[in-house]
Structure 1
Amino acid sequence: MLDELLAAWIGHQRWFGGKGRPIDSLSIESDATIEAGDPCLRHLIVAVWQEGSRERYQLLLGMRRQLPDTLQHALIGRHEQWQVYDAVHDPELTHWILESMASGAGQGEVRFRHMPGVEIDTSIRSMVLGAEQSNTSLVFGEGYICKLFRRLIPGVNPELEIITALADRHAPHIAQPYGWIETGLDGTPTTLAIMQEFLSNSTDGWDLALTSVRDLYNSLPGLAAAEAGGDFAAEACRLGAATARVHHELAQAFPTGTVETHEVKRMAEGFRRKLGRAVAEVPELREHVGVLEAAYHQVEDLTTEVPVQRVHGDYHLGQVMRTTSDWVVLDFEGEPGQPLAERRALSSPLRDVAGMLRSFDYAARHLLAGHAEAAKLEPKAEQWAERNRAAFLDGYVQGGGTITTGDAALLRAFELSKAVYEVVYESRNRPSWISIPLAAFRHA
């Protein structure tokens, strides 16, 4: 049975969200044949049941009577006379994405859309990017990148909402969207994939930051961050300005609002609830509760309304790319594990600012985890982080962003709450890294 074959395979995929828990059952909810023959391409939506809850996943299923050596790594198993495999790795089959998107064709319930006025080159071949965790990205030549959402949640993905709205405004600092794939799920239009401009001549912000940190660590003793080769402060300042511009464009493209003082107090209570759950799981947090409570109390004392708007929602150095001309912001879908309503909810733009500030701390200390000279290098890590955090904030204000005295208290609370989340994450996934977020409370 095909469903049994898929159930044995899906739990081992990096994008599968239920790893470590047994699969009770898997059923095929939707099965559309995109291309018949040999090879055959089918688009599947499967429901996976674990511990009484259901998650849906999107699969591109390839079927061949004889699987070539170049596709053996994608093999799922044998079904009747067919070799069944993950077709995202087969450029002979993935060409249907470009062709169907260019024509706006549909395959049953699977519908293709493209942005008005764009042309899509259907002649280029695809390859899979290997770094994705929750999704799968296909790169077509040097022109396009198509993000295939594996875990499906009914509704329009926030990233599609945002990038199409900003593209309509000709906003800077985003990658041009070209098209998307959608279907109906529970009677709701649901995003299956998004295709955007591939930034081939660009560098990931995290990689650039780590290069700067390495240069500083390898510099002569006593050399300041500003004097070391590869100083990142100018780039941090430009990134701050780009962030402010993106926030401005989001505020123009979507509704905005304000959070009144009694709602701000509820926000502080939310921080406390998360802290309580985190302390119960990670005892190392207990000694820092006083610092965190004091920061959350300052938020409760705010007497002004807090402006809110659409934000990025999962902002860090890994979500930005430095092109030859400027910074580009990617992945506006928010935290993938959160419900769509929460990812679409209005929030303070300071949440994004706090996320990037935490990312600078991570970049500074990431290379210290397990380092033989960590204690000796710690002052340099602090120096690098503080220099680039300050430069980012300067750029944010220069770019039109606002951080008032009241904002500073909220920004600090957002940042510390994010550090609490990071402590729990590292405790579960990378215990040797837990010292990185814990350092945030010693210097708060």
Structure 2
Amino acid sequence: MCELEELLAVWLPRQRWFSGKGIPLRRLRILSRHQLLSAGPEGPDLDLLVLEAGQRGTTSRYQIMLGSRPPRTLPAHLARTAIGVCQVFGGRPQVVYDAAHDEELTALLLERFTDTEPGGRSEVRFRTLPGARLRTGAPGRLLTGEQSNTSLVFGRDHVLKTFRRLWPGPNPDLELNTALSGSPYVAEPCGWIEADLPGSPTPTTLAMLQTFVPEATDGWVMATANVRSLLAGATREREAAFAEEAALLGRTTAEVHRSLSQTLPTDVLSLDEISDLAEAMVERLAMATAEVPELAEHAQSVMSAYSDFSQVDGPLPTQRVHGDYHLGQVIRPERGWVLLDFEGEPTMPVQDRRRLSNPLRDVAGMLRSFDYAAGYLLIDHPGEPDLERSARVWARHNREAFCRGYADGGGIDPDKHLVALRAFEFDKAVYEVLYEARNRPNWLRVPLDSIASAVAASVPG
């Protein structure tokens, strides 16, 4: 392992977007290096590195935009992003750092989309969609708060989403956003960055460029603010106003699902495939129960819901869906809801995320998110039944509004497919239990309480 790889092996597991937290990193190597800028002895230089990380029998690939400068020239505001000092690729000692924080270097990425200089730049290709209008000249400002990827905003015009963990071939986020191009419910795609990586027969998507939606509010922020105001004694009119937003989000979701079904392949699940899907749910429940014993007291009821689902008369329609749908994946500008991040669950293999699925999976994900918005604010208020009752009422009203809007927008009527919807919700909640136990133990009660409430509601009497 070279000196740079040793530094990266210490730095990588500490990053919030690293997917293998809690599992020892047994090996790391630089799989490929793509030089995007070399500014001479005084730098700065910009390299795009693809790292291969080995953990307990699995191998993952990650993308790093690596900046390097002589130590004395590193600006003070970039000091906290430093990875270390080493000889970079056989050269003189340099300080290396995460270049996503360097506005001087990231500004060059947008310029490269309009660069028509031929030759010598085939390893990493900057593609633009026909008709895309790009405005260059703005520095790349790093957006905070993302977990699995890194986004750079250029002025008020564009946002570049760089995929930190890489999977072979086109990223589903690019596929689905391109399929939805022209829709008012997505940020218009403008282009992407791709590269040929070892072992991948098709180009791998490194980043996606879209129009930036300014002055938009995150759906999670809107929802939790509404719950907080309700718990603080706000009027029911304010709660009702958000229920209208939930209904609009339901209609928007149905419109997006319809557009995807019209432009991408569709199919149906046979009875045998439904049975196989239920068996996979049972396996995930068993794994989660083994790791989180608190889940065991509800396991039988959840299993019963899966059993009911396995006997659905079907067939159920399938299509491409969002795949990781929740309030944090939608924003509310003035013109209506906009959906983001069609990458799917980033910890799942890309071939699984590309599979067709029943649209009720997305519906279930959003319904779980309303429960999360209510339950999240109860973490610091245990043993307060009045607050809990108010929060649960809020969640129920918004879940009902979303489902009503989804059906009104032409989607599958959730009220007529309650057995399937219930199974999808439990499956998502079980996943959440495992996620919180591994990453945010203080949030674990949120999905556990939701499962307990759902189980209690299904018990007669």
Under a length normalisation based on structure 2, what TM-score does the superposition of the two structures give?
0.91
Q: In structure 2, give the amino acid aligned to 1:188.
A: T
Quote the offset at 1:96 in angstroms: 2.0
Q: 1:77 — aligned with what?
A: 84
> Tell me, what secondary structure is at the counterpart of 1:102?
coil
Answer whether contact 1:212 1:231 (CA < 8 A) is retained.
Answer: no
2:252 is equivalent to residue 242 of structure 1: yes
1:67 to 59, 74, 89: 74
> Tell me, what secondary structure is at the counterpart of 1:308?
strand
2:177 is equivalent to residue 172 of structure 1: no
Quote the offset at 1:364 in angstroms: 1.0
Quote the offset at 1:229 in angstroms: 5.8
Mean Cα deviation higher: 63-72 or 366-375: 366-375
Quote the offset at 1:245 in angstroms: 0.2
Which blocks of at least 5 consecutive residues in structure 1 are unaligned? Answer: none
Q: 1:272 — aligned with what?
A: 282
1:16 to 6, 18, 38: 18
* C-alpha spacing 1:397/1:104, structure 2 compared with 1 (3 Å): farther
* C-alpha spacing 1:297/1:50, structure 2 compared with 1 (3 Å): closer
Quote the offset at 1:326 in angstroms: 0.2
Give distance in 1, aligned partners of 2:64 and 2:312: 49
* C-alpha spacing 1:290/1:162, structure 2 compared with 1 (3 Å): same
2:25 is equivalent to residue 29 of structure 1: no
2:228 is equivalent to residue 208 of structure 1: no
After superposition, residues 364-379 of structure 1 pair within 5 angstroms as: 364-371=374-381, 374-379=384-389
Quote the offset at 1:373 in angstroms: 5.8
2:58 is equivalent to residue 58 of structure 1: no
Q: 1:144 — aligned with what?
A: 158
> Tell me, what secondary structure is at the counterpart of 2:180?
helix
2:133 is equivalent to residue 119 of structure 1: yes
Q: 2:459 — aligned with what?
A: none
After superposition, residues 344-423 of structure 1 pair within 5 angstroms as: 344-371=354-381, 374-403=384-413, 407-423=417-433
Give distance in 1, aligned partners of 2:310 and 2:9: 49
> Tell me, what secondary structure is at the counterpart of 1:418?
helix
Answer whether contact 1:32 1:107 (CA < 8 A) is retained.
Answer: no
| Alignment RMSD | 1.8
Quote the offset at 1:172 in angstroms: 2.5
Quote the offset at 1:365 in angstroms: 1.4
2:147 is equivalent to residue 133 of structure 1: yes
* C-alpha spacing 1:121/1:436, structure 2 compared with 1 (3 Å): same
Mean Cα deviation higher: 141-150 or 314-323: 141-150
Q: 2:212 — aligned with what?
A: 198
Give distance in 2, aligned partners of 1:264 and 1:375: 39
Answer whether contact 1:104 1:114 (CA < 8 A) is retained.
Answer: no
Answer whether contact 2:239 2:394 (CA < 8 A) is retained.
Answer: no
* C-alpha spacing 1:199/1:404, structure 2 compared with 1 (3 Å): closer
Q: 2:110 — aligned with what?
A: 98
Mean Cα deviation higher: 95-104 or 305-314: 95-104
* C-alpha spacing 1:51/1:421, structure 2 compared with 1 (3 Å): closer
Quote the offset at 1:372 in angstroms: 5.3
Q: In structure 2, give the amino acid aligned to 1:54.
A: T
- The superposition leaves residues 280-318 of structure 1 with CA deviations (integer Å, 9 ceiling, x where unpaired) of 222212221232122122212222210000000000000
Q: 1:219 — aligned with what?
A: 233
Give distance in 2, aligned partners of 1:285 and 1:81: 53
Answer whether contact 1:58 1:149 (CA < 8 A) is retained.
Answer: yes
> Tell me, what secondary structure is at the counterpart of 2:14?
coil
Answer whether contact 2:360 2:414 (CA < 8 A) is retained.
Answer: no
Answer whether contact 2:414 2:421 (CA < 8 A) is retained.
Answer: no
Quote the offset at 1:8 in angstroms: 2.7
Answer whether contact 2:52 2:61 (CA < 8 A) is retained.
Answer: yes
After superposition, residues 335-346 of structure 1 pair within 5 angstroms as: 335-346=345-356
Mean Cα deviation higher: 9-18 or 117-126: 9-18
Q: In structure 1, give the amino acid aligned to 2:317.
A: P
Quote the offset at 1:19 in angstroms: 3.1
Q: In structure 2, give the amino acid aligned to 1:210.
A: T
> Tell me, what secondary structure is at the counterpart of 1:210?
helix
Give distance in 2, aligned partners of 1:441 and 1:23: 34
- The superposition leaves residues 225-248 of structure 1 with CA deviations (integer Å, 9 ceiling, x where unpaired) of x44467410000000000000000
Which blocks of at least 5 consecutive residues in structure 2 are unaligned? Answer: 87-91, 455-461
> Tell me, what secondary structure is at the counterpart of 2:125?
strand
Quote the offset at 1:10 in angstroms: 2.0
Answer whether contact 1:149 1:192 (CA < 8 A) is retained.
Answer: yes
Quote the offset at 1:276 in angstroms: 1.5
How many residues were matched structurally? Answer: 438
Q: 1:49 — aligned with what?
A: 54
Give distance in 2, aligned partners of 1:404 and 1:70: 51
Quote the offset at 1:262 in angstroms: 1.9
Give distance in 2, aligned partners of 1:359 and 1:344: 22
Q: In structure 2, give the amino acid aligned to 1:72.
A: A
Quote the offset at 1:17 in angstroms: 2.3
Q: 1:87 — aligned with what?
A: 99
Q: In structure 1, give the amino acid aligned to 2:209.
A: M
